[in-house]
Amino acid sequence: MEKYKSLHLWMIVPMSFMQFGIFRDYWGDFSDNAWSVHVHYWTGTAWYLYLILQPYWATHGQLARHRTNGIIGMFLAGGVCITALSMMHRDLLNAQHAAEKANDFGPFQPWFFMGVAAVEIVMMLAFGFAIIQSIIHRKKLENHAWWLISTVFIIMMPALGRGVQNIYVGLHADQWPNINIMTPIYYANIMIIAMLLLGAYKYNKLRHPATYLALIVNLFNCFVGVLGHSEQVQNFLKYLIKG
């Protein structure tokens, strides 16, 4: 327990990166966001806050509070997963709008939104799997804790990716619409993987299955372009995701 006493402080780092990434997209057009966007943002934010508070309570003599809030936390985790999946039809709508109004979307062509939808399915399935594993291993502190921590790195990409992408597009605005929008996605994934491996090294979890899962998910995220251009993937998404 002693080595986890500062974990709550370390968890502020990924929380900050997530909030930085999503800040402009969410708060920039706050009143125009759909209800589902608000629900997902706040459940996701609450989940990150829980991953700061829970380690603090567990390592500072408040185990009863930790256990009680852990039950509430599982409810929140389900909300994060379900609300993310429920928003995926928006990706397909964006792909449709990008095809119809290509001049407005510039470098954001239909394939990009299709690719995002494809990786988000894998991302949320992995998130759900990690949550279930944390429940299964709830009596084994080290495994329980690291499965939960891994969820931060599994679902960070959409938020951080948007933030890095906004900066990158802004810096290359003079090249619009000829901007490689995949480059910032790679940068964001490198940042997430670096944080993941740094944390895994600090807590001796480099060879933990949760670390492998988070690493695989973020490497998979790099295939947004390949997946988005695939006609088979596009047809599958259109068949699976209905409005």
According to the 3-state scheme, what is the secondary structure of 96-117? HHHHHCHHHHCCCCHHHHHHHH
3 pLDDT higher than 80: no
Taking the model in full, what pTM does it have? Answer: 0.91
180 pLDDT higher than 90: yes
96 pLDDT higher than 90: yes
Please state, in angstroms and rounded to a whole number, the distance separating the CA atoms of residues 197 and 193.
Answer: 6
Task: Identify which of 62-66, 74-78, 85-89, 228-232 has the greatest average pLDDT.
Answer: 228-232
| Mean of the per-residue pLDDT values of the chain | 91
pLDDT tier for residue 9 given thresholds of 50, 70 and 90: confident
Q: Are 216 and 108 contacting, i.e. CB atoms less than 8 angstroms apart?
A: no
69 pLDDT higher than 70: yes
pLDDT at 243: 62
pLDDT at 1: 59
Higher pLDDT, 192 or 56: 192
pLDDT tier for residue 11 given thresholds of 50, 70 and 90: confident
pLDDT at 98: 93
Please give the share of the chain, as a percent, with pLDDT higher than 90: 58
Higher pLDDT, 40 or 128: 128
170 pLDDT higher than 70: yes
Mean pLDDT of 40-49: 90
Q: Which residue type, as a one-letter code, is found at position 134?
A: S
Mean pLDDT of 39-59: 89
pLDDT at 30: 79
pLDDT tier for residue 121 given thresholds of 50, 70 and 90: very high
65 pLDDT higher than 80: yes
Peptide bond connecting 110 to the previous residue in cis, omega within 30 degrees of 0: no
pLDDT at 219: 97
Residues 233/243/121/16 CA torsion (nearest 10 deg): 130
Please state, in angstroms and rounded to a whole number, the distance separating the CA atoms of residues 93 and 99.
Answer: 10
pLDDT at 137: 92
